[in-house]
Amino acid sequence: MTARYTVALIGAGGYAGQVLHALLVHHPCISPRIVHAREPDDEALTVCAACDVVALATPSEAARGWTDALLRRGHRVLDLSDAHRLDPRAHYGLPELQGPPTPNTPLVANPGCYPTATLLVLRPLLDARLIEPEGIAVLGASGASGAGKGLRDDLHFCELHDNSFPYKVGEHRHTPEIEHVLGASVSFVTQLLPVVRGMLVTAFVRPRREPAQLLDGLRAAYEAHPWVTVLAEPGPGLGLRHVVGTHQALLAVGPRERSGLVPVFSTIDNLMRGAASQALHNLNLWLGLPPELGLPPPLLEPPTGLPGMSRMLP
């Protein structure tokens, strides 16, 4: 197949931008064009004008400036930052839950990594009234690449290696996004893991039905969505190495605890499903291409045992 579309990529030096660029380079129908400008100057906007979509993999403040300048000129913008995820102009780009953006949509907001993992496992359960909307508690654990390339003391190798700790407790920037799309309040706590990439979310919910019915509800919700796999039970099949380098999300439902709560689980690659491959999934749908183009193939079978020691990354 010959490339028919060009995507201008701004912010290709960041972690998510690097992975998105790598995916676009191998895409059969989309050709990337890197824009190196830090601000929307005339030269950069001229480059963008020759492209079908502009993808922003920049920090939020920069994304706001670029988006305003680009939308004024009639360009379509895919924003990987959190600048527009609550913007009523934007289509929230979580395909399994929100569907595809229409061709005339001006702005697609790519969801955050933690919201993606959390919403995939909780939204169907709430929509089907299988769990209570009150009292939801979420614990998320992520590799350090989710914090981006900015310099921070707690991201130094000597601080994070052989270590794990909570961060931004009570003030995490993803909490409003999760609550807005979920339609319910959550208690949300995150912690850093001494790994580069991969994310595991554990949510404790108050069930309205038995855990087996929650599991059936998730299976029904994702029966037609090959990049979401619902496991028979939690365990090693949720291991990070099963998803790193893939677009796959792995979900599971645990047994009812003595407290009456039920744990539900979600595992993704924060740089792929939580950022770059989800952006590509949205681009395919937005441009009217088959959704699987350029994406790693979905898992054929649910993983059950311990993941392998290594895998090829995009």
- What are the extents of the domains in the chain? 5-110+273-286, 113-268
Distance in angstroms (rounded) separating the CA atoms of residues 217 and 176 = 25
To which residue do tokens 């989800």 refer?
278
Which residue from 8, 126, 115, 140 is spatially nearest to 67, judged by alpha carbons?
8
Residue 35 contacts residue 13 (beta carbons within 8 Å):
no
Q: Domain 5-110+273-286: which topology?
A: Rossmann fold (3.40.50)
Residue 48 catalytic?
no
pTM: 0.94
Return mean pLDDT, the chain. Answer: 93
Could you please report the per-residue DSSP string of 12-31?
A: TTSHHHHHHHHHHHT-SSEE
- Which of these is catalytic: 48, 51, 113, 158? 113
CATH among 3.90.1150.10, 3.30.365.10, 3.30.360.10, 3.40.50.12280 for 113-268: 3.30.360.10
| Residue pLDDT, tens place only, 126-144 | 999 999 999 999 999 998 8
Which residue from 283, 196, 250 is spatially nearest to 20, judged by alpha carbons?
283
Bridge partners, 267 (sequence order): 200, 250
Query: For residue 313, is pLDDT > 60?
Result: no
- The pLDDT of 84-105, averaged and rounded, is 96
With H, G, I as helix, E, B as strand and everything else as coil, classify residue 2.
coil
Q: Is residue 91 very low, low, confident or very high in pLDDT (cuts 50, 70, 90)?
A: very high
Residue 53 contacts residue 62 (beta carbons within 8 Å):
no
DSSP code of residue 207: B
**CA end-to-end span of the chain:** 20
